Structure 1
Amino acid sequence: MAKWTPQHEAPEPLEGPVVATITGGTILWFVLFLVQLPFYGWFDDHGHLWWVWTCLAGGGLGLIGIWYVRGRDAALKRHAAQQADGGTTGTRAESL
């Protein structure tokens, strides 16, 4: 079991334009949904109607994702501002 023990510390996660990435993906899902709508009958005739609804579901879940990553981004910025101001980051239990 010792051979599976990591020998070095894990690297920090990469941060990028997460909000823009999720927003772009959400827009893409909605565009795909709108592009497929004129062919609704064809998809229905060939048993591929789930393609249309998958795009709509992807867009809907993307809206939830946008809400989530915007909140995460705001929390990271608040934390960075606290660190810059010299604020405490510990919990109340740690300060007792």
Structure 2
Amino acid sequence: MGKKAYRHPAPEPFEGDIRAVTVGGTVLWLVLFVVQLPFLGWLDDHDRMWWLWTCLAGAGLGVLGLWYVRRREAALARGGDAGARSNT
């Protein structure tokens, strides 16, 4: 009944080294996938095969994310962010 809605301005977006973060996350998922390969029998016996496929999906999505980041950086380098600036 007496709730107040506090409105704060949105913070500025963080522009760090997005490519390094994406590559690091992708490599981490891929390493986790490879580390689990020797334990296929144990994973199958304990109904934990989803661990393996989750790591593979994470690595695949990381590759997709790297493709997206590279295209985004190329568009920003070409000046493709001019449309985004005019919308604000």
Q: Same fold (TM over 0.5)?
A: yes
Equivalent residue runs for 1:13-92 within 5 Å: 13-79=13-79, 89=82
One-letter code aligned to 1:25:
G
List alignment gaps of at least 5 residues for structure 1.
Answer: 83-88, 91-96
Moved over 4 A (4+): none
RMSD: 2.0
* Identical amino acids, percent of aligned pairs: 61
Aligned length: 80
Q: How many Å apart are 1:47 and its aligned residue?
A: 0.8
List alignment gaps of at least 5 residues for structure 2.
Answer: 84-88
TM-score (norm 1): 0.73
TM-score (norm 2): 0.79
Whose radius of gyration is greater, 1 or 2?
A: 1
Secondary structure of the structure 1 residue equivalent to 2:79: helix
